[in-house]
Structure formats: structure tokens, C-alpha cells
Amino acid sequence: MTDALETFGHPALFYRGDAEYLNGVVPFVLEGLDRGEAVAVAVPGRNLMLVEKALEDRSTEVRLIDLERVGRNPGGILPGVLYAFADAYPGPVRIVGEPIWSERTPEEYPACVQHEALINRAFAGRDLTVLCPYDSAELKPAVLADAERTHPELRDSCGSWPSPRYDPMAVLADYNLPLPAPAAAAEFRFNLTLLAAARGFAETWAARYGLRHPRRGDLVLAASELCTNSVLHAGGEGVLRLWREPAQVVLEVCDQGSLTDPMAGRVPAPSGLPGGRGLVLVNLLADLVRMHRALGGTRVRAFFRR
């Protein structure tokens, strides 16, 4: 393990039932509070209530975050939740983060695993620990196996041990999956002179597909950011597509650029510097963002619930 990872901790906690959950999470939180560390608990709503109740009066010392509400898009958890909390404090920080729960859809899951893999790069060298609970009674064995690959340390009710399968970069490669083509979509080819028209195209089709404001405005802004990125950084042109699914409207932008930085869209841009905010903003606006990187181009797909 590198010196950077000796400073940063990212253990996975495998638990079964409420008692094991609380036995793993609450002492971790209290230890941080007793050491004077900043502590946040970002987990699904039901588990958040369990932790709040178990902490009793000390719950007021903890930032409590319902990840089902603010972390629906896994790609938005790093910039919108973890960085937002950790960067607010100069000293040691610890966070309980539970981005994967049994109700996550197969469409969401690849983005969840990528998020877990990228945490290791995002906070390497920081005096920070992120404890990630995994419900081993409800989650599939493949999910638990992926947790072993994205976390350098594993814990359960019996103790802790180094993960022999830890390999987050291989996980990123494995889940860089091609996205299935839609059955039908409205399509617009754009370049620099057609950026305004691309925005109008997104507005028109989002309205036709039944997306209401303010979510329609969010989709149009996301489309504008993605198309602008294609023009500025990916050969000056691209293809914008929109289509409707039963519960959502989907936006996709394809171009010939090669997006090589896996942290793109996950790291907040430094204040005062131009650029670097487009993909982050899309991750914060959308209910889900999926991306496929290839040598011949990049495909970004953003989902907005109707």
C-alpha cells in the first residue's frame, strides 16, 4: 500500500441486519467525534434514521445526509457530497458513505462501482476516511465481490483485513461499458455555429417528451454544457440525441474526443479558474449519468426523471 493510501482510508463494511450495521457505523462515528474530527453520515434514508437515533444527543454534531435524495446520481456524490463536506474542514475528516443499496437499478450500478473505485484516487494523501457499508444479506454476491476490488480494507462483525482483490483501476476498465442504442431518438448534429440551435432542439424535444420545468431547464443546461465541451475539446462537432423512456427523458451527446481522465466530472473546478465545470454540472443536474470512453470517441448519457 502506498504512503498516500496510508493517510487515506477507504474500508468496506459488510453487515447483516440493523444490529451489525449500527455496531460497525456508530463506533466509527463516535471515535471521530471524540477525536475532534468533522464527521458526516451519507447513507440511504432508512439507515440514516437508524444512525441518528443510535447517536442520541450526539447526532447534532454530525452532518446527516440522505444519499437516496442527494446521491441518486452516483457521479454527483463526489463533487456534490464528499468533496463539498471534506473541503470545508482543514483537519481530519471521516465520512460514512453508502452509495450502493439493494434498490439500485442495473442501469445505475456501473456508475456506482466507478464512483467507489474513483474515491481512492480522489482522496489519496488526504487525512480522511470513508467507511462504505454493504448489506451482505441483500446485495448480490457480484456486488460484494466488486466491493473487495474497490476497497483496500474490508470489515465485518468479526474484524478487519486487507482486501486481496483490491484493484480499482481494473474495475474502471471493466465498467467502461458500451451503452445500448435507443430504439428511436430525435437527433441533431451540431458544431460551433449551431450551439444555440442545439439548445433550442433540446428544449423542444424535452417539452414534447413531457419533461416539465424545472427539470426541463436542467436538461437543456446539461445539453448546452455537453455540446459546448464537444465543440471546445473534442473536434468541434458532435451529435445530440433525445428520447423518452417510461419514467424519464434521456439526453445523449456523442463526439470523436477521447476523454482520458477518469476524474473528469467528479472533481470540482478550482475557484477563479475558467473551465472544468461542464461535466461536474451535468453530474449535479442529472438523476443518472453514464459514460462510455473509447479511442474513437466519447458517449455521455444523462437521465432526467419525468
- In a 3-state reduction of DSSP, which class is residue 112? helix
Q: How many residues does the chain have?
A: 306
Residue 1 has pLDDT above 50, yes or no: no
What is the separation, in whole angstroms, between the first and last Cα of the chain? 45
Distance CA 150, CA 144 (A): 10
Q: Would 179 be classed as within a structural domain? A: no
- Residue 207: CB atoms within 10 A of its CB come to 15
**In this structure, which long-range contacts are made by residues 175-182, counting pairs with CB atoms below 8 Å and at least 24 apart in sequence?**
175/110, 175/113, 175/114, 175/117, 176/292, 176/293, 177/110, 177/292, 178/292, 179/252, 179/290, 179/292, 179/299, 179/301, 182/241, 182/243, 182/250, 182/252
Tell me, yes or no, whether 271 lies in a domain. yes
Burial class of 240 by CB neighbour count within 10 A (0 to 12, 13 to 18, 19+): buried
Instruction: Kindly state whether residue 242 falls inside one of the protein's structural domains.
Output: yes
28 and 116 together in one domain:
yes
- 33 and 155 part of one domain: yes
Instruction: With cut-offs at 50, 70 and 90, classify the pLDDT of residue 276.
Output: low
Percent of the chain with pLDDT over 90: 91
Q: Is the pLDDT of residue 127 over 70?
A: yes
Region 183-204: mean pLDDT is 97
Query: Is the domain of 30 the same as that of 165?
Result: yes
Pairing between β-strand 153-156 and β-strand 288-294 as defined by DSSP bridges: unpaired
> pLDDT tens digits, residue range 144-156?
999 999 999 999 9
Question: In the prediction, which pLDDT does 295 show?
Answer: 85
Residue 4 predicted with pLDDT over 60 = no
pTM of the entire predicted model: 0.94
Residue 229 maps to which CATH number? 3.30.565.10
H/E stretch holding 40 reads strand 38-43
What pLDDT shows up at residue 274? Answer: 53
Q: How many domains does the chain have?
A: 2
| 225 and 93 together in one domain | no
Q: Residue 142 maps to which CATH number?
A: 3.40.50.300
**What number is the average pLDDT over the span 44-50?**
98
Domain finish residue from 123, 141, 174 = 174
Band the pLDDT of 2: cuts 50, 70, 90.
very low
The answer to whether residues 135 and 191 belong to one domain is no
Q: What pLDDT, on the 0 to 100 scale, is given for residue 157?
A: 97
205 and 137 part of one domain: no
Range(s) of the domain holding residue 226? 186-305
CA 170 and chain centroid, separation:
18
DSSP states along 166-209: --HHHHHHHT-PPPPPPSS-EEEEEEGGGHHHHHHHHHHHHHHT
159 and 16, same domain (yes or no): yes
Listed range (1-10, 163-172, 227-236) with the worst mean pLDDT = 1-10
Whether residues 106 and 248 share a domain: the answer is no
Residue 207, domain member (yes or no): yes
Say yes or no: 13 and 148 in one domain. yes
279 and 142 in one domain? Answer: no
Same domain assignment for residues 228 and 252: yes
pLDDT of residue 3 exceeding 70: no
| pLDDT tens string 8-27 | 999 999 999 999 999 999 99
Residues 295 and 253 in one domain: yes
